[in-house]
Structure 1
Amino acid sequence: MKSQTTVLFCTNGLTALAFALILPVMSLYLVNGLHVEPGLIGVYTVITSGMTVLFSQKITGLIDKGVSAKRLVIFSLLGIVGASAGFALSKNFWHVLIVGCLIMPLASSSIPVILTIIRRYADSTGKSSTKLNSQMRSSVSLLWVVGPPIAFFSVDRLGFRSNFYLSAVVALAVIGLVALQLKEPKAPDIDPLDKDKKLAPPLPREVWFLGAIMMLANMANSTYVGSMPLFLTRNMGLSTAYPGILLGMTAAVEIPVMLLAASWSQRYGKLPMMRLGYVFGMLFYVGMYFTDHLAVCIALQLLNGLFFGIFVGLGVTIVQDYAPKTIGKASAFYTNSMLLGTMLGTSAMGVIAQYFGFKAPLFLSLFMLFLSMLGLWLFEKKVEHRRPTFAERHG
């Protein structure tokens, strides 16, 4: 692989595949594999996500201080290998919780580290960060077309343990690719006045506002992703393979949407495009709640793909645009905002599902996405209109 763009594309995508073999099946693993109450899904998610937020913010902060990003990404990829093996060997809920607390935070840190490397590569080569981030995120969706179907099919035919070991094998392949092919990204030039500072500048207030918006939107998505395998298998009586098919179809729609989102954002603006994506998402959640037919569920994935493709295709670039001097911290902050949304969404899903059924959490998804759209509208009104050239200066 002579092109670093190709190396980054493969690294990003295969890392996503390793996670795609773990994350979509976790709620099913806890409920059907370990026979725990749905409410304990929230306990697992809250504790592991909280540890991940603390750990990933620290590890990406090291990049801004000059630590090798390549070494950090290899170190974090080893966490995926360890976590996969740990889940495969777990016998009860407490084993899974220990692995989630001690090893999974390291594994999850690979995502913001890779995002930082991608942004540095874009800045050092003069490439459009919006377009490159969209292209790189499309590699994630490309592998999610096949990842969840493989995961659920593997669980259905071979069991959870074999599926987790498969994730470890994929992570080992990524480590080999990074070690042999990835070049150390060029660090941004440091202002002479800042050379003696040990700490990077703090994140701007705009980034914190955007982080809350991203958190709410991903909370909506995570609530759906956590409950969908359960209501398909429990309420509709379908095979374990079908949740993977729906997730794969959504990812297939995401790919062209993310690639087009960069050009759409140049024409219409990133924030208006993001709001449009939220509208697609709300229509999707309403449709999923009121149907019990597989064919309709499959058709609705078009709306979900439009929502999530726009959301993840533009989200990280929007956050990075408002923190150009601390790309590492901004990337980690974006990832942690998404992770916090996953934590809250999955936790709430488990509690709601235990008392009101596996479809009831879709109401929460709808409400959270509405709040996120409202927050984005307020952000554009209060911040973007007050500083109309900010995004252009740093985009």
Structure 2
Amino acid sequence: MLVSLFAVALASASLATFMGFHIVEDLHQPPWAMSLYAAVATLVTVGANRFCGERIDGGARIARLVSAANALRLLGVVVLVLPHGFPALLVLAAPLLALGNSATSSLYSFGRLYAEREGLDAARYNTRLRTMTSLGWMIGPALAFGAADRWGSAVVFEGGALLCALSLGLGWICLPTGFRKIVALKESGGASQAEDEAPNPALWLAAGACLLFSVSHVLCTAALPLFYVREAGLPTYAPGLSFAVKCFMEVLVILASAPLLRRIGARRCLVLSAGLGILAYGVLAQTRSIPHLVLGAALEGLYYGVFAGVSASFVQGFARGRIGRATSLYMNSLFVGGLMASALLGGLASLFDFRTAILSATGMMAAAAVLLVMTRHLDRQSDLYAAGQA
């Protein structure tokens, strides 16, 4: 299951990060075309995640949902392998690739349900899932841009097709085909059904906090490369070094986050992450040298590693038995946050500068901390559930 998730993450990362370059450099479209593509992809992804989450909660076989998503992503990459223009990319490839993104959300739901059913440490299993995702995103972009630099953009999509086919095959081999959520029989109009359908404001607040984390993270990550080179006067290798240090620290912290979650609880972990994030952005915004950059990138990896290792468990803690819905809402908060950050970055960089964009991320992080505190008064059982103790 972990191998299947790594293959999915590797395929997603190699394609998603290269798409903007392909649109502008290969298809000769204006920069706003990237935003149009991102909007279409995000909207379709949100709908697909929501659909799969509801199907999982209804008892659908998760392996079938994952295989369908991987097959749709493969079809989307085939469109890109063939000669195409921007209209074909926007109308055919973007929706197909976005539908394929639902595989990640479904696998996260699968992981949580599998851990609970087998009596595994749910918090630790969630960190393993997140580690596989982060490793895929560490390796995928480097593979894509390295291949494009050496052999051209066509090789990126051909390699992406192979990765998607590998994801599809591994899903068939590794995932138990009959695994599904056990749905308890309910009497019509019974108390359990009423509770299941009751409003769940704590879940939405938890997802809102994750959305603000995502806005903050993507806003800073997207602004840093141009800030380093244009405003801080650092060499052109600085963005790559920063990303490598950040990702290395992030993976280490994710692996260590399960004991921290059990010791202080998911909510306190995320409040700690928000505080570290504000500190990291303050350090990064003042960067003027490579040692300063390394310190800031390490702090960035530290805060985001805590968030990445704990956030899925935190949101699932408010699921009230609807793991599919909670997980899809969590994943959607990350996608929508990324889209919001991209739009916000353009405005801030045009009106002010990239340093201002980085400092603005601290405001989003502070707002996320406020929402986290608000969830405390709505559901005190979430920390126990997130740690696999309830």
TM-score tier after normalising by the smaller chain length: 0.7 to 0.9
The residue identity in structure 2 corresponding to 1:120 is L
The residue identity in structure 2 corresponding to 1:289 is A
Q: Does 1:275 align with 2:271?
A: yes
Aligned partner of 1:51 among 39, 44, 47: 44
The residue identity in structure 1 corresponding to 2:361 is S
Where does residue 250 of structure 1 map in the other structure? Answer: 246
Structure 1 residue 40: Cα displacement: 4.2
The Cα offsets for residues 256-301 of structure 1, whole Å up to 9 and x where unpaired, read as: 2112111011111111111111122222222222224445333322
The residue identity in structure 2 corresponding to 1:323 is A
Where does residue 196 of structure 2 map in the other structure? Answer: 201
Residues of 2 paired with 1:316 and 1:82: CA distance?
29
Structure 1 residue 312: Cα displacement: 1.4
The residue identity in structure 2 corresponding to 1:383 is L
Residues of 2 paired with 1:158 and 1:296: CA distance?
35
The residue identity in structure 1 corresponding to 2:251 is I
Q: Does 1:335 align with 2:331?
A: yes
The residue identity in structure 2 corresponding to 1:297 is L
| Distance of aligned partners of 1:201 and 1:227 in 2 relative to their CA distance in 1, 3 Å threshold | same
- Contact persistence 1:40–1:350 (CA under 8 A): no
Moved more, 20-29 or 273-282: 20-29
| Distance of aligned partners of 1:84 and 1:299 in 2 relative to their CA distance in 1, 3 Å threshold | farther
Where does residue 98 of structure 1 map in the other structure? Answer: 91
Where does residue 81 of structure 1 map in the other structure? Answer: 74
Residues of 1 paired with 2:254 and 2:383: CA distance?
25
Q: How does 1:182-193 map to 2 (within 5 A)?
A: 182-184=175-177, 186-193=179-186
Aligned partner of 2:63 among 67, 70, 78: 70
The Cα offsets for residues 30-53 of structure 1, whole Å up to 9 and x where unpaired, read as: 455545444443333223212211
Residues of 2 paired with 1:171 and 1:199: CA distance?
41
Q: Does 1:224 align with 2:220?
A: yes
Specify every segment of 5 or more residues in structure 1 that has no aligned partner in the other structure, as ranges: 1-7
Where does residue 306 of structure 1 map in the other structure? Answer: 302
- Contact persistence 2:212–2:368 (CA under 8 A): yes
Moved more, 174-183 or 87-96: 87-96
Residues of 2 paired with 1:91 and 1:41: CA distance?
16
Q: Does 1:13 align with 2:9?
A: no
3-state SS of paired residue (2:259):
helix
The Cα offsets for residues 27-81 of structure 1, whole Å up to 9 and x where unpaired, read as: 4444555454444433332232122111221123222223221111011112332
Structure 1 residue 114: Cα displacement: 0.6
Residues of 1 paired with 2:309 and 2:89: CA distance?
32
- Contact persistence 2:148–2:155 (CA under 8 A): yes
The Cα offsets for residues 325-376 of structure 1, whole Å up to 9 and x where unpaired, read as: 2111111111111111111112222333345444442233222112111211
Where does residue 345 of structure 1 map in the other structure? Answer: 341
- Contact persistence 1:42–1:348 (CA under 8 A): no
Structure 1 residue 160: Cα displacement: 3.3
Moved more, 343-352 or 83-92: 83-92
Residues of 2 paired with 1:110 and 1:340: CA distance?
17
| Distance of aligned partners of 1:159 and 1:393 in 2 relative to their CA distance in 1, 3 Å threshold | closer
TM-score between both structures, scaled by the size of structure 2: 0.87
3-state SS of paired residue (2:378):
helix
Residues of 1 paired with 2:350 and 2:78: CA distance?
29
Structure 1 residue 100: Cα displacement: 5.6
Structure 1 residue 19: Cα displacement: 1.6
Q: Does 1:262 align with 2:255?
A: no
The residue identity in structure 2 corresponding to 1:372 is A
- Contact persistence 1:144–1:247 (CA under 8 A): no
Residues of 2 paired with 1:199 and 1:40: CA distance?
45
| Distance of aligned partners of 1:28 and 1:10 in 2 relative to their CA distance in 1, 3 Å threshold | same
Moved more, 110-119 or 147-156: 147-156
Residues of 1 paired with 2:213 and 2:155: CA distance?
33
Identity %: 22
Specify every segment of 5 or more residues in structure 2 that has no aligned partner in the other structure, as ranges: none
The residue identity in structure 2 corresponding to 1:215 is L
Aligned partner of 1:383 among 378, 381, 385: 378
Aligned partner of 1:368 among 349, 359, 364: 364
Residues of 1 paired with 2:108 and 2:324: CA distance?
8
Where does residue 316 of structure 2 map in the other structure? Answer: 320
Structure 1 residue 10: Cα displacement: 0.9
Residues of 1 paired with 2:131 and 2:382: CA distance?
31
- Contact persistence 2:265–2:384 (CA under 8 A): no
The residue identity in structure 1 corresponding to 2:196 is P
- Contact persistence 1:20–1:148 (CA under 8 A): yes
- Contact persistence 1:134–1:261 (CA under 8 A): yes
Residues of 1 paired with 2:23 and 2:227: CA distance?
15
Residues of 1 paired with 2:156 and 2:363: CA distance?
34
- Contact persistence 1:152–1:244 (CA under 8 A): no
